[in-house]
Amino acid sequence: MAKHQEISAAYDGVVELYASLFANRLETQPLTRAMISTFAELVRGAGNLRTADVGCGPGHLTAMLHELGLDAFGLDLSPAMVDHARRAHPALRFDEARMEALPIEDRALGGVLAHYSMIHTPPEDLPALLDEQVRVLAPGGVLLASFFGTEGPEPIRFDHKVTPAYSWPVDRFTELLTGAGLTTVARLLHDPASERGFLDTHVLARLP
C-alpha cells in the first residue's frame, strides 16, 4: 500500500474521535488562533480571498477561515474526513485531494493553510510538497504551515497517535520555504504540543 493510502486509511478509522478531540480545540489555544487570524488578515490585504485548507480534517478550520472573511474550501486525503466535513459544514466546499497533487490551477490562490497536515511527509519528500503549495499561490499569496517543532538539528520521526510523523527544527523548515521561493513573514513557537515536548510551531510565509 502506498504511503498516502496508508495515511488515508489511518485517518478514515479515527474520524469521529478526531473530530470530537479537535473541533473545539482552538478555544483553549489563543496563540494558534492569533496566527490563523493574522494569516487571514494578510490574505485579505493581498486581495485574493480564495484559500485552500489543505489537510482540512473535519473542516473546523475551513469554517474558521470562512468566518474570517476568506473564500475558503477544504481538501483532505481521507474520504471519511471529507464526508464528515461536508456534513458538519454543508455551506462549504470539501473535496478529496493529495497535497502532492492539488486539483487547483497555477497561481490561483491567495492563501494556503497547512495546519499540521505536512507532519506525515518524510523529510526527503517535503521540498516537492512545498513546491506544490507554491505552485497554486498567486504572487503575494500567503502560506501558514503549522507543525511539531523540535530544538534539535534534524527532523525527528515519532509514533504519532494516528500514523508515524515528523517534528522539524524551525530553522530547517524555513530554509525549505526559502528554497521553494517563499519569504518568511513570522514564526511562533509555543507550549509543548505533546508529552514528548515538541513545540507548537507556526510559520507564515509569502510568495513575492
Give domain limits for the chain: 3-206
- Lowest-confidence region among 17-31, 119-133, 149-163, 186-200: 17-31
Which cell numbers hold the place of 167? 517534528
194 pLDDT band (50/70/90 cuts)? Answer: low
What local confidence, expressed as pLDDT, does residue 204 receive? 98
- What is the radius of gyration, based on Cα positions, of the chain? 16
The DSSP line for 29-70 is -HHHHHHHHHHHHHHHHHT--EEEEET-TTSHHHHHHHHTT-
Q: What is the CATH number of domain 3-206?
A: 3.40.50.150
Instruction: State the average pLDDT over residues 176-193.
Output: 93
Task: Check residue 188 and give its pLDDT.
Answer: 96
Position 63: which residue type? A
**Which one is predicted more confidently, 23 or 37?**
37
Residue 192 confidence (pLDDT) above 70: yes
pLDDT-derived band at 1 (thresholds 50, 70, 90) equals: very low
Taking residues 66-86, report their average pLDDT.
94
The whole-model pTM stands at 0.90
Write down the pLDDT at residue 197.
Answer: 77
Give backbone dihedrals phi and psi of 151, rounded to 5 degrees, phi first.
-90, 0
Mean pLDDT score across all residues of the chain: 89
- Please compute the mean of the pLDDT values over residues 101-116 and round it to a whole number: 97
* Alpha-carbon gap, residue 16 to 13, rounded angstroms: 8
Residue 7 has pLDDT above 90, yes or no: no
